[in-house]
Amino acid sequence: LPRPFSPVDFTGAVERLVAARRPERSRVLVVDDNPESLRGLRQALSGQQVEVLCLEDPYRLVEALAEHRPDLLLLDVELPGPSGFDLCRIARSMPEWQQLPILLLTSRQGTEFRVAALEAGADDYLAKPVLKEELVARMRSRLERVRLSRERSERDALTGLLLRRPFVDSVRTRLSEAERQHRPLALCFLDVDHFKRVNDTYGHLAGDRVLARLGRLLATRFRREDVRGRWGGEEFVVALMGETAESARDILARTAVELARMEFEGERGERFHVAFSAGISEAPREGATVEALLKEADTRLYRAKANGRNRIEV
Ligand code: GH3
Ligand code: MG
Ligand code: MG
Ligand code: MG
Ligand code: MG
Protein backbone atom coordinates (compact mmCIF):
# COMPACT_ATOMS: atom_id res chain seq x y z
CA LEU A 1 0.00 0.00 0.00
CA PRO A 2 1.33 3.47 -0.81
CA ARG A 3 2.10 5.60 2.23
CA PRO A 4 -0.53 8.29 2.69
CA PHE A 5 0.61 11.76 1.71
CA SER A 6 -0.11 14.26 4.46
CA PRO A 7 -1.73 17.35 2.99
CA VAL A 8 -0.24 20.73 3.86
CA ASP A 9 -2.34 23.68 4.96
CA PHE A 10 -1.92 26.47 2.40
CA THR A 11 -4.23 29.03 4.02
CA GLY A 12 -2.82 32.53 3.61
CA ALA A 13 -0.05 31.29 1.33
CA VAL A 14 -0.02 34.37 -0.90
CA GLU A 15 0.07 36.76 2.05
CA ARG A 16 2.98 34.86 3.57
CA LEU A 17 4.82 34.89 0.26
CA VAL A 18 4.46 38.66 0.00
CA ALA A 19 5.57 39.06 3.62
CA ALA A 20 8.54 36.74 3.07
CA ARG A 21 9.75 38.79 0.11
CA ARG A 22 9.73 42.02 2.11
CA PRO A 23 12.96 42.71 4.00
CA GLU A 24 12.62 41.85 7.70
CA ARG A 25 11.34 44.96 9.47
CA SER A 26 9.74 44.98 12.88
CA ARG A 27 6.48 46.88 13.25
CA VAL A 28 6.08 49.32 16.11
CA LEU A 29 2.64 50.74 16.91
CA VAL A 30 2.73 54.11 18.68
CA VAL A 31 -0.38 55.45 20.44
CA ASP A 32 -0.12 59.13 21.27
CA ASP A 33 -2.76 61.87 21.06
CA ASN A 34 -0.23 64.62 20.45
CA PRO A 35 0.82 65.00 16.78
CA GLU A 36 3.95 66.87 17.84
CA SER A 37 5.00 64.06 20.12
CA LEU A 38 4.17 61.45 17.45
CA ARG A 39 6.40 63.27 15.00
CA GLY A 40 9.21 63.29 17.56
CA LEU A 41 8.89 59.54 18.14
CA ARG A 42 8.73 58.83 14.42
CA GLN A 43 11.88 60.86 13.94
CA ALA A 44 13.65 59.13 16.83
CA LEU A 45 12.88 55.74 15.25
CA SER A 46 13.76 56.67 11.68
CA GLY A 47 16.71 54.75 10.32
CA GLN A 48 16.12 51.94 12.85
CA GLN A 49 14.84 49.38 10.34
CA VAL A 50 11.44 49.50 12.01
CA GLU A 51 8.11 50.33 10.51
CA VAL A 52 6.45 52.96 12.72
CA LEU A 53 2.64 52.94 12.73
CA CYS A 54 0.94 55.84 14.50
CA LEU A 55 -2.44 55.95 16.18
CA GLU A 56 -3.89 59.13 17.66
CA ASP A 57 -7.28 57.77 18.69
CA PRO A 58 -6.89 55.43 21.69
CA TYR A 59 -10.40 54.03 21.10
CA ARG A 60 -9.10 52.38 17.94
CA LEU A 61 -6.40 50.32 19.67
CA VAL A 62 -8.03 46.90 19.27
CA GLU A 63 -8.67 47.51 15.57
CA ALA A 64 -5.15 48.84 15.04
CA LEU A 65 -3.62 45.77 16.71
CA ALA A 66 -5.60 43.47 14.42
CA GLU A 67 -4.81 45.53 11.35
CA HIS A 68 -1.08 46.16 11.86
CA ARG A 69 -0.08 43.13 13.98
CA PRO A 70 2.77 45.04 15.64
CA ASP A 71 5.87 43.47 17.21
CA LEU A 72 5.97 46.18 19.87
CA LEU A 73 3.53 48.68 21.34
CA LEU A 74 4.51 52.14 22.54
CA LEU A 75 1.79 53.81 24.65
CA ASP A 76 1.53 57.35 25.85
CA VAL A 77 0.04 57.31 29.37
CA GLU A 78 -1.80 60.64 29.18
CA LEU A 79 -4.46 60.18 26.53
CA PRO A 80 -7.99 61.55 26.11
CA GLY A 81 -10.46 58.95 27.41
CA PRO A 82 -8.71 55.72 28.27
CA SER A 83 -5.20 56.13 29.68
CA GLY A 84 -2.13 54.26 28.50
CA PHE A 85 -2.57 52.06 31.59
CA ASP A 86 -6.10 51.18 30.44
CA LEU A 87 -4.91 50.38 26.91
CA CYS A 88 -2.15 48.22 28.32
CA ARG A 89 -4.66 46.25 30.40
CA ILE A 90 -6.97 45.88 27.38
CA ALA A 91 -4.14 44.48 25.22
CA ARG A 92 -3.09 42.11 27.99
CA SER A 93 -6.64 40.82 28.39
CA MET A 94 -6.54 39.53 24.81
CA PRO A 95 -4.79 36.14 24.59
CA GLU A 96 -3.17 37.09 21.29
CA TRP A 97 -1.34 40.08 22.78
CA GLN A 98 -0.26 38.72 26.12
CA GLN A 99 3.34 38.33 24.94
CA LEU A 100 3.51 41.60 23.01
CA PRO A 101 6.25 43.90 24.37
CA ILE A 102 4.62 47.10 25.68
CA LEU A 103 6.51 50.27 26.58
CA LEU A 104 4.74 53.10 28.39
CA LEU A 105 5.70 56.75 28.02
CA THR A 106 4.78 59.49 30.49
CA SER A 107 5.84 62.97 31.46
CA ARG A 108 4.86 62.29 35.05
CA GLN A 109 7.50 61.41 37.57
CA GLY A 110 7.32 59.23 40.65
CA THR A 111 7.40 55.68 41.85
CA GLU A 112 3.63 55.25 41.84
CA PHE A 113 3.55 55.70 38.05
CA ARG A 114 6.27 53.14 37.47
CA VAL A 115 4.44 50.73 39.76
CA ALA A 116 1.13 51.39 37.98
CA ALA A 117 2.80 50.75 34.61
CA LEU A 118 4.10 47.38 35.72
CA GLU A 119 0.80 46.49 37.35
CA ALA A 120 -1.01 47.29 34.09
CA GLY A 121 1.20 44.69 32.40
CA ALA A 122 3.78 46.92 30.70
CA ASP A 123 7.28 45.55 30.15
CA ASP A 124 9.04 48.86 30.45
CA TYR A 125 8.53 52.49 31.29
CA LEU A 126 10.14 55.63 29.84
CA ALA A 127 10.03 59.25 30.98
CA LYS A 128 9.12 62.06 28.58
CA PRO A 129 10.82 63.87 26.97
CA VAL A 130 12.18 60.60 25.63
CA LEU A 131 15.92 60.33 25.03
CA LYS A 132 16.34 58.88 21.58
CA GLU A 133 19.25 56.58 22.46
CA GLU A 134 17.44 55.18 25.47
CA LEU A 135 14.20 54.57 23.59
CA VAL A 136 16.05 52.86 20.74
CA ALA A 137 18.10 50.70 23.11
CA ARG A 138 15.09 49.54 25.13
CA MET A 139 13.06 48.89 22.02
CA ARG A 140 15.85 46.99 20.28
CA SER A 141 16.38 44.59 23.15
CA ARG A 142 12.64 43.80 23.28
CA LEU A 143 12.40 43.32 19.52
CA GLU A 144 15.47 41.09 19.50
CA ARG A 145 13.83 38.85 22.09
CA VAL A 146 10.67 38.69 19.98
CA ARG A 147 12.76 37.69 16.95
CA LEU A 148 14.62 34.98 18.88
CA SER A 149 11.50 33.43 20.36
CA ARG A 150 9.77 33.49 16.97
CA GLU A 151 12.77 31.75 15.45
CA ARG A 152 12.76 29.15 18.22
CA SER A 153 9.06 28.47 17.71
CA GLU A 154 9.75 27.60 14.06
CA ARG A 155 12.25 24.89 14.93
CA ASP A 156 12.07 21.35 16.16
CA ALA A 157 13.67 21.00 19.60
CA LEU A 158 15.39 17.62 19.02
CA THR A 159 17.10 18.36 15.69
CA GLY A 160 17.08 22.16 15.47
CA LEU A 161 15.64 21.90 11.95
CA LEU A 162 12.60 23.81 10.67
CA LEU A 163 9.17 22.44 11.49
CA ARG A 164 6.86 21.45 8.67
CA ARG A 165 4.99 24.72 8.21
CA PRO A 166 8.01 27.08 8.32
CA PHE A 167 9.85 24.66 6.03
CA VAL A 168 7.06 24.84 3.45
CA ASP A 169 6.94 28.66 3.74
CA SER A 170 10.68 28.90 3.29
CA VAL A 171 10.77 26.56 0.29
CA ARG A 172 7.96 28.54 -1.32
CA THR A 173 10.15 31.67 -1.12
CA ARG A 174 13.16 29.74 -2.46
CA LEU A 175 11.08 28.39 -5.34
CA SER A 176 10.16 31.86 -6.54
CA GLU A 177 13.81 32.91 -6.27
CA ALA A 178 14.87 29.88 -8.27
CA GLU A 179 12.24 30.69 -10.88
CA ARG A 180 13.44 34.29 -11.22
CA GLN A 181 17.05 33.10 -11.55
CA HIS A 182 16.12 30.30 -13.97
CA ARG A 183 17.77 27.76 -11.67
CA PRO A 184 16.44 24.33 -10.75
CA LEU A 185 15.62 23.31 -7.18
CA ALA A 186 15.71 19.75 -5.86
CA LEU A 187 13.37 18.63 -3.13
CA CYS A 188 14.51 15.59 -1.10
CA PHE A 189 12.30 13.51 1.17
CA LEU A 190 14.28 11.29 3.57
CA ASP A 191 13.07 8.54 5.88
CA VAL A 192 15.26 6.52 8.26
CA ASP A 193 15.11 2.81 7.48
CA HIS A 194 13.61 0.39 10.00
CA PHE A 195 13.56 3.07 12.64
CA LYS A 196 10.89 1.33 14.65
CA ARG A 197 13.30 -1.59 14.98
CA VAL A 198 16.04 0.82 16.16
CA ASN A 199 13.76 2.05 18.94
CA ASP A 200 12.60 -1.46 19.85
CA THR A 201 16.10 -2.95 19.87
CA TYR A 202 18.28 -0.13 21.23
CA GLY A 203 15.79 2.05 23.12
CA HIS A 204 14.04 5.34 22.42
CA LEU A 205 16.91 7.44 23.74
CA ALA A 206 19.26 5.83 21.23
CA GLY A 207 16.62 6.51 18.58
CA ASP A 208 16.52 10.16 19.62
CA ARG A 209 20.31 10.36 19.34
CA VAL A 210 20.10 9.04 15.78
CA LEU A 211 17.56 11.72 14.84
CA ALA A 212 19.56 14.50 16.50
CA ARG A 213 22.76 13.35 14.78
CA LEU A 214 21.10 13.10 11.37
CA GLY A 215 19.57 16.55 11.95
CA ARG A 216 23.02 17.98 12.68
CA LEU A 217 24.42 16.26 9.60
CA LEU A 218 21.74 17.81 7.39
CA ALA A 219 22.17 21.21 9.07
CA THR A 220 25.92 21.34 8.48
CA ARG A 221 26.08 19.96 4.94
CA PHE A 222 24.88 21.62 1.71
CA ARG A 223 24.77 25.36 1.05
CA ARG A 224 23.70 28.14 3.35
CA GLU A 225 20.72 29.01 1.14
CA ASP A 226 19.39 25.44 1.22
CA VAL A 227 16.45 24.64 3.48
CA ARG A 228 16.26 21.72 5.93
CA GLY A 229 13.28 20.56 7.91
CA ARG A 230 12.01 17.74 10.08
CA TRP A 231 8.77 16.67 8.42
CA GLY A 232 7.84 14.60 11.44
CA GLY A 233 9.02 11.44 13.25
CA GLU A 234 12.03 10.02 11.38
CA GLU A 235 11.24 11.92 8.18
CA PHE A 236 13.34 14.82 6.96
CA VAL A 237 13.06 17.24 4.03
CA VAL A 238 15.76 19.20 2.26
CA ALA A 239 15.49 21.73 -0.58
CA LEU A 240 18.72 22.14 -2.56
CA MET A 241 18.96 25.35 -4.59
CA GLY A 242 20.36 25.17 -8.11
CA GLU A 243 20.45 21.36 -8.14
CA THR A 244 18.75 18.96 -10.48
CA ALA A 245 17.34 15.69 -9.12
CA GLU A 246 20.43 13.89 -10.47
CA SER A 247 23.01 16.27 -8.96
CA ALA A 248 21.05 16.27 -5.70
CA ARG A 249 21.19 12.46 -5.67
CA ASP A 250 25.01 12.60 -5.76
CA ILE A 251 25.07 15.17 -2.95
CA LEU A 252 22.61 13.20 -0.82
CA ALA A 253 24.50 9.96 -1.52
CA ARG A 254 27.56 11.49 0.18
CA THR A 255 25.40 12.27 3.21
CA ALA A 256 24.17 8.67 3.19
CA VAL A 257 27.79 7.46 3.24
CA GLU A 258 28.60 9.78 6.14
CA LEU A 259 25.61 8.51 8.09
CA ALA A 260 26.51 4.87 7.36
CA ARG A 261 29.98 5.49 8.85
CA MET A 262 28.56 6.82 12.09
CA GLU A 263 28.42 4.41 14.97
CA PHE A 264 25.58 4.67 17.45
CA GLU A 265 25.31 3.21 20.93
CA GLY A 266 22.26 1.38 22.27
CA GLU A 267 20.98 1.40 25.85
CA ARG A 268 23.06 -1.66 26.74
CA GLY A 269 26.18 -0.36 24.99
CA GLU A 270 25.51 -2.22 21.73
CA ARG A 271 26.98 -0.63 18.59
CA PHE A 272 24.81 -0.12 15.55
CA HIS A 273 24.46 1.75 12.26
CA VAL A 274 21.50 3.26 10.45
CA ALA A 275 20.60 4.16 6.87
CA PHE A 276 17.93 6.22 5.15
CA SER A 277 15.93 6.01 1.96
CA ALA A 278 15.09 9.09 -0.07
CA GLY A 279 13.03 10.36 -2.99
CA ILE A 280 13.96 13.48 -4.93
CA SER A 281 11.87 15.69 -7.24
CA GLU A 282 12.99 18.66 -9.29
CA ALA A 283 11.55 22.11 -10.01
CA PRO A 284 10.45 23.41 -12.41
CA ARG A 285 10.74 20.23 -14.53
CA GLU A 286 8.48 18.08 -12.35
CA GLY A 287 6.43 20.66 -10.53
CA ALA A 288 6.27 24.35 -9.82
CA THR A 289 4.64 24.24 -6.39
CA VAL A 290 5.88 22.97 -3.04
CA GLU A 291 2.94 20.60 -2.74
CA ALA A 292 3.54 19.05 -6.18
CA LEU A 293 7.24 18.59 -5.44
CA LEU A 294 6.60 17.08 -2.01
CA LYS A 295 4.07 14.66 -3.43
CA GLU A 296 6.43 13.50 -6.17
CA ALA A 297 9.41 13.16 -3.80
CA ASP A 298 7.21 11.18 -1.40
CA THR A 299 6.13 8.82 -4.21
CA ARG A 300 9.79 8.21 -5.04
CA LEU A 301 10.64 7.66 -1.40
CA TYR A 302 7.99 4.97 -1.30
CA ARG A 303 9.63 3.42 -4.37
CA ALA A 304 13.04 3.52 -2.63
CA LYS A 305 11.51 1.59 0.29
CA ALA A 306 9.85 -0.92 -2.03
CA ASN A 307 13.12 -1.40 -3.92
CA GLY A 308 14.95 -2.54 -0.80
CA ARG A 309 15.72 0.63 1.25
CA ASN A 310 19.07 2.40 1.78
CA ARG A 311 18.70 3.97 -1.64
CA ILE A 312 17.76 7.21 -3.35
CA GLU A 313 15.19 7.40 -6.16
CA VAL A 314 14.87 10.29 -8.62
P1 GH3 B 1 10.59 2.08 7.17
O2 GH3 B 1 11.95 1.58 6.84
O3 GH3 B 1 9.54 1.52 6.29
O4 GH3 B 1 10.56 3.56 7.19
O5 GH3 B 1 10.25 1.55 8.62
P6 GH3 B 1 10.24 2.36 9.99
O7 GH3 B 1 10.27 1.41 11.10
O8 GH3 B 1 11.32 3.37 9.97
O9 GH3 B 1 8.87 3.14 9.85
P10 GH3 B 1 7.66 3.25 10.84
O11 GH3 B 1 6.84 4.39 10.30
O12 GH3 B 1 7.01 1.95 11.00
O13 GH3 B 1 8.27 3.64 12.23
C14 GH3 B 1 8.73 4.93 12.51
C15 GH3 B 1 9.03 4.97 13.97
O16 GH3 B 1 9.63 6.21 14.33
C17 GH3 B 1 7.81 4.83 14.84
C18 GH3 B 1 7.95 5.91 15.88
O19 GH3 B 1 7.79 5.42 17.17
C20 GH3 B 1 9.35 6.39 15.70
N21 GH3 B 1 9.52 7.80 16.06
C22 GH3 B 1 8.85 8.87 15.58
N23 GH3 B 1 9.31 10.01 16.16
C24 GH3 B 1 10.29 9.66 17.02
C25 GH3 B 1 11.15 10.40 17.91
O26 GH3 B 1 11.10 11.63 18.02
N27 GH3 B 1 12.04 9.68 18.64
C28 GH3 B 1 12.13 8.33 18.55
N29 GH3 B 1 13.05 7.71 19.29
N30 GH3 B 1 11.33 7.61 17.74
C31 GH3 B 1 10.42 8.25 16.98
MG1 MG C 1 6.63 4.20 7.80
MG1 MG D 1 -0.67 62.58 25.71
MG1 MG E 1 8.39 7.15 8.27
MG1 MG F 1 11.31 4.92 8.50
How far apart (Å, rounded) are the C-alpha atoms in residues 114 and 104?
9
Cα 229 to Cα 222: distance, rounded to the nearest angstrom = 13
Q: What is the ipTM of this complex?
A: 0.95
pLDDT of 159-172, one tens digit each? 999 999 999 999 99
Confidence grade of residue 215 (pLDDT, cut at 50, 70, 90)? very high
Average of per-residue pLDDT across 242-265: 98
Number of other CB atoms surrounding residue 10 within 10 Å: 13
Question: Is the beta carbon of 234 within 6 A of some atom in ligand 1?
Answer: yes
Q: What is the DSSP letter of 163?
A: P
pLDDT digits (tens, 9 = 90+) for 58-96: 999 999 999 999 999 999 999 999 999 999 999 999 999
Residue type, 24: E
Residues with a beta carbon under 5 angstroms from ion ligand 3: 33, 76, 78
pTM: 0.75
**Catalytic residue list:** 234
**Per-residue model confidence as pLDDT tens digits over 159-209:** 999 999 999 999 999 999 999 999 999 999 999 999 999 999 999 999 999
The pLDDT of residue 15: 44
Q: Which of 6, 195, 214, 272 to mutate to test the pocket of ligand 1 (most atoms within 8 A of CB)?
A: 195
How would you class 14 by CB atoms within 10 Å of its CB: exposed for 0-12, middle for 13-18, buried for 19 or more?
exposed
Give residue 308 CA to ligand 5 midpoint distance, Å: 12
